[in-house]
Amino acid sequence: MAVAADAPDDRMLKALQVSESRYRRLFEAARDGILLLNSDTGQIEDVNPYLIELLGYSHAEFLGKKLWEVGPFADRAESREMFTLLQAQGYVRYDDLPLKTKAGAEVPVEFVSNTYDCAGIKVVQCNIRNISGRKHMEEQLRQLAFYDTLTQLPNRRLLGDRLSQAMAAGKRSGGYGVIMFLDLDNFKRVNDAHGHAVGDALLTQAAARLKACVREVDTVARFGGDEFVVVIADLDADRTEAGVQAQMVAEKIRSALALPYVLKISHEGAAETSAKHQCTASIGMALFKDHEASQDDILKWADGAMYQAKAAGCNLIRVCAAAA
């Protein structure tokens, strides 16, 4: 006996059910957040499990509410404007949109939304991707590119940018800036006596002392080896007064670096010991204002003054005559 074939309407219904089932599986299993909105009202029609997990709100807390009524988006002042733009253009994208979880933590996301027609109803699908890992990696790469790995101070590349900023600040305010070039006087003895690990520990301590001597807005950079550079902007507009201010900071730095360093020393098979080490610094200074001289010239002036301090006996401060 022959089996009757499915009617066309039945086949269409089955195909639709298969399609809906396939979409539902993708929706539920997606490792990006998916938010479905009514295009006319902004009301949330559905939200997938990943977004619930990411933001900490339950399905019920999302469902039926307007986009700007739910915590993560209520925290965004522009959420209503964002939806208005979406209605007008059918597409909105944010490459880095910070959203807050229910617990109050901030999560950076990539937010992409599109409008499409579903059985005669316009639906907005918002895809929300957590980019915390990517941003962390970008920050690590930035750290490697612009900061010294040992001391975490700005490196020579970032120093150039900071010096440019200090020169620009002087142009706006009319005040002087100063660059200080520092070299630790007897650092080589530490490496020779105790090894590079102990020398690295001393450099780390010296970096911390330098940072403690200046303001948060000032720059302390590691130039290389046992050489450091300090950049201070917004000194007095009068050259003599600016020189006095710079001298006070340099003396504070010289005194701080001259204090004994307590260094931990360990050798394989032996108990850890500690030793005090005196390590002073020779400091060369060069005042600058606006763009009266190039960065290279200012650095050369300060470097030359530092060598004058070395030649005069170390643990001294000298000001470059060309910049005085």
Superfamily for domain range 147-323: Reverse transcriptase/Diguanylate cyclase domain (3.30.70.270)
Domain boundaries along the sequence of the chain: 8-135, 147-323
Q: Locate 263 and state its tokens.
A: 């260094």
User: Active-site residue among 148, 226, 234, 303?
Assistant: 226
Q: Locate 6 and state its tokens.
A: 């499915």
236 annotated active-site? no
From CA 249, how far away is CA 242, in angstroms rounded?
11
From CA 223, how far away is CA 92, in angstroms rounded?
45
What's residue 196's pLDDT? 83
Residue 256 and residue 248 in contact, taking contact as beta carbons nearer than 8 Å: no
Residue 134 and residue 121 in contact, taking contact as beta carbons nearer than 8 Å: no
What's residue 269's pLDDT? 60
Fold agreement (8-135, 147-323): no
| Percent helix / strand / coil, the chain, rounded to 5 | 45, 25, 25
What's residue 224's pLDDT? 92
Which regions in the chain score pLDDT beneath 70?
A: 1-24, 119, 267-271, 322-324
DSSP β-ladder status, 106-118 and 177-184: unpaired
Q: What is the pLDDT of residues 226-240, one digit of tens each?
A: 999 999 999 999 999
Options 3.40.50.720, 2.40.10.10, 3.30.1330.60, 3.30.450.20; which CATH number does 8-135 get? 3.30.450.20
What's residue 18's pLDDT? 45
What's residue 87's pLDDT? 79
Residues 97, 101, 103, CA angle at the centre, nearest 5°?
150
Q: Locate 161 and state its tokens.
A: 């940018």
Q: What is the pTM of this model?
A: 0.69
